[in-house]
Amino acid sequence: MAQIEQPKNQLKNPLDVCGYDDKNEQAPREECGVFGVWAPGEEVAKLAYFGLFALQHRGQEAAGIAVGDGDQVVVYKDLGLVSQIFDEPTLESLSGDVAVGHTRYSTAGGVTWENSQPMFRVAPDGTDVALCHNGNLVNLLELMNEAEEKKLVSAAEFPSDSDVMTALLAEKITTGRTLLDSARQLLPRIKGAFCLTITDGHTLYAARDPEGVRPLCLGRLDRGWVVASETCALDIVGASFVREIEPGELIAIDESGIHSERFAQPQRKGCVFEYVYLARPDSVIRERNVNSTRLEIGRRLAKEWPAQGDLVIPVPESGNPAAVGFAQESGIPFGQGLVKNAYVGRTFIQPSQTLRQLGIRLKLNPLREVIQGKRLIVVDDSIVRGNTQRALIRMLREAGAAEVHVRIASPPVKWPCFYGIDFASPGELIANVVTGDNETEMVASVCSAIGADSLGYVSTESMVEATQQPREELCCACFDGVYPLGLPEGNANAELVSALQRGSCGGVE
């Protein structure tokens, strides 16, 4: 009999509660990381565990692993970090030949144990189904209505898109109809961004949406196969990179080998923000190293927005490669002027007003002897609401910086993402809030709002060129407002975006 285990001592909602603003000004967050391994005779739960460690940056609210031994699937998941959820005895108890794993940030469905993944369902014929999903669906309302009519989910309980997919996938598995048959029927009907790893306890399945918005790759072990959101997860488990899972591709891995088929024709629209911020710098996406891309963005940023300064410093860790590139191109020395406390962001202690007032100092602390009296060029990956940069600049000035010039390794973020990144709503994005009738005035207004001596954003053209990918094969919706997969139904932010694009909204509210 299949089982799904919930730890007795559940962790509290692991949001970043030590923000410097009640709204918790945070960097853009990827929704999820997915992992799958088929390797009979290996400790697949431990391989999944290490793979999820490598994908921890893609989701820090919850994690889980499902393991199948051919007879049943056992799921173990909880809220929190991978290291907080799993220990040696737990991993030892998860024995089998195939496993799927997940790290989660929530963008569809709340932060609850029920919405953590892998999702689990038992099909009418008794087949166990465990599913992991990275992305967001734009036709969730349609699929949810169908699932509710079939009494598979209750909309009143706010199921995630992943739960709805799992329910519909399992429902079609009956005598004489396999999970593969069900996937062939369901996948062409799903619209939006999705990378999936699925198991029925015997076979490992993986699928990627026709646009290939999120990355998904295939790796080879000595005695098995691995599927992961990023190549860095292949590296950590000792798997060699084989290839990408192609957009619109469904694969099945079992003792007979790999079976591959297309459920849709590819129409590539890979997320450019994977290169800018989301992916780990040691990952490779479409044969382009992420770190090299960020270095090149920094070089181009220095050409487009030169500055007179004494020291180039990054906002760690995400600003590091672009800052190095900026320093290389400008000839201005690179230095570490800020020290990051890597352990603050995942605290479970509710913040007091005193902690809130400490704000960004809980996460970053200036090296006074490095920055005192210096004209600083501070390189960051993006500006969302602007609270982070405003507090950071104030802190640097208090530490003795003579000037603070800010350079951003992405264009202004003006539009929310509906394909798997947790951005703020349009009215919370500082590029929309400040005054200005054109790009120059907008940049000047943001510069004034954050208190910088000067501000520069890299151009969309330079960012795209740094990826070495064709512009027509990238999604840049958060920068240009062009949504290649369409907008989701029944979403307030999507309705606002639609109104803004029609010009029927007097301004961003």
Active site residues: 32
DSSP string, 265-295: -----EETHIIIIIS-TT-EETTEEHHHHHH
Peptide bond into 118 cis (omega under 30): yes
Collect all residues with Cβ–Cβ distance below 8 Å to 122 and sequence separation of at least 6. 2, 128, 129, 170
* 70, two tokens: 């051919």
Per-state percent for the chain, helix, strand, coil, to nearest 5: 35, 25, 45
Cβ–Cβ under 8 Å, residues 219 and 227: yes
Buried/exposed 455-481: b ≥16 CB within 10 Å, e otherwise? bbbbbbebbbebbebeeebbbbbbbee
Cα dihedral 213→272→161→249 (10° resolution): 10
Residue ranges with strand state E in 291-429: 311-314, 338-340, 364-366, 375-380, 403-408, 421-422
Cβ–Cβ under 8 Å, residues 458 and 445: no
Cα–Cα distance between 69 and 66 in angstroms, integer? 10
How many other β-carbons are positioned within 10 Å of the β-carbon of residue 89?
Answer: 7
How many other β-carbons are positioned within 10 Å of the β-carbon of residue 282?
Answer: 14
Cβ–Cβ under 8 Å, residues 218 and 259: no
